[in-house]
Amino acid sequence: MGTNVDIVQRGWEAVGRGDWDALVADYTEDMIFIMPGQTDVLKGQSNFRQALEGIGEILPPGFDIMSMRHIDGNDEVVTIFEWKSDKIPGGTQSAVLFKMAEGKVYEERWFVDTVQWKAAF
């Protein structure tokens, strides 16, 4: 299983490989995903897995994570990552909060500058 940070890092590595099944294996069945600017909260592991098939539509063109670090808390991990895209070549920073229970992610919440995020498309 590993530590909560290990689980989150394993998830980021799965994203890098495009291995969505490996990613969602570390999420609870009733997990929720929240991205700023969304009108709905994505609920459920199966809905999350299905949404990952269209990840190219929700990430800016040329999206590339340049570096990341994790902050471990009480059943929470925050990932702070530096990223760039075609329209933001100089890069910027965002964060993701992962709430954990019994070695699984039950909530993933992104924190981004929504104006900048929209401009990246």
Ranges 4-8, 19-23, 60-64, 107-111: which has the least confidence: 60-64
Structural domain of residue 71, as residue ranges? 4-119
**Number of domains composing the chain:** 1
Beta bridge partners, 43, equal 32
Give the model's pLDDT for residue 59. Answer: 80
Six token digits for residue 7: 């689980």
CA atoms of 29 and 88, how far apart (whole Å): 35
Are 60 and 85 contacting, i.e. CB atoms less than 8 angstroms apart?
Answer: yes
Q: pTM for the full model? A: 0.90
Nearest to 92, CA basis, from 120, 71, 69: 120
Checking if the pLDDT of 85 tops 80, the result is yes
What CATH number is given to the structural domain containing 33?
3.10.450.50
Checking if the pLDDT of 4 tops 70, the result is yes
